[in-house]
Copies of this chain bind each other. A is one copy, B any other.
Amino acid sequence: MTSASDIHSKTVLVRKLESIATFSDEERQAILSLPSQTRVLKPGQDIVRDGDTPSQCCLILDGWAYRYKVLGEGRRQIFSFHIAGDIPDLQSLHLHTMDHTLATVTEATVAFIPHQSMRELTMRYPSVGAVLWRDTLVDAAIFREWMIGIGRKSAFGRIAHLFCEMYLKLESVGLASDHRCPLPMTQVDIGDALGLSNVHVNRVLQELRGKGLITLRSNTLVIHAWDEMIQASEFDPTYLHFEQRAAG
């Protein structure tokens, strides 16, 4: 079950977790030794569905994923976007029934890790458990920040905020720099994430371009005026909890 390429896959996880925590050699080895199964998924493919009771969780190695829930009449709310190093359904370790769906945005490479192994890991090494717990808490902090946007900010501020957030998340794991990053979701996706119609998203994007704040084409975002974007969106990165060495 644990091949050489398999260990390599969990390096993505260790690297992300070690950006904010410190592990002993034994703990690091325990994470790398987690059994897992790697698969390549097509764009727009559901990974775990609303109502499922999964017995494994999903570590993203490459590509983008997102979480969403559909209501009646085609309404959809997107909760989050995920990139390499994320375990978007880590919550299923303790919440047995999925209350939303996890799917790919782009083609994606993911590693599935059995819940059983994750539980054994967190029971034997509670400090590793604390770091994973922390990860789900940052997740929740991001939900809160999105609530602020959807509930109390203009469409302009919301979109600018999302762009700042995605850039910083990508930069923090080495997938972006120089205020340039990949951004593979469609305008419909952005609307469903921020509670806007695709038409309005399109118009606000034109406004952002018109003011020279960003460039966005062929799935690449460039932020030309970081400070103005920060200000327009009332962005404060505290909620991303990027602090160094914050292990439990």
Contacts and interface: CB of A to CB of B under 8 A. Distances in A.
Given A75-B152, A151-B195, A99 B136 contact: no
Interface in A140-156: 140-141, 143-148, 150-153
Nearest to A50: B238
Nearest to A139: B140
Contacts of A137: 91, 94-95, 136
Interface in A171-217: 192, 194-195
A194 B143 CA distance: 14
A239 B137 CA distance: 17
- Which 9 pairs of residues, A with B, have the shortest CB-CB distance? A151-B195, A140-B140, A143-B143, A94-B134, A99-B239, A77-B148, A75-B152, A150-B150, A123-B126
B150 A147 contact: yes
Contacts of A194: 151
Contacts of A162: none
Contact of A127 (B123, B241, B248): B123
Interface residues of A, number: 51
A45 to B, nearest CB: 21
A106 interface: no
Given A99-B141, A143-B144, A147-B143, A248 B76 contact: no
A124 to B, nearest CB: 8
Given A95-B138, A119-B248, A151-B194, 5 more contacts: A51-B238, A76-B152, A94-B134, A95-B141, A123-B127
B95 A195 contact: no
20 contacts: A77-B147, A77-B151, A79-B147, A91-B141, A94-B133, A94-B246, A94-B248, A95-B137, A99-B145, A99-B241, A123-B127, A126-B126, A126-B129, A129-B129, A133-B133, A133-B136, A140-B140, A140-B143, A143-B144, A152-B195
Given A127-B123, A130-B122, A136-B136, A144 B79 contact: yes
A182 B192 CA distance: 34
A39 interface: no
A243 interface: yes
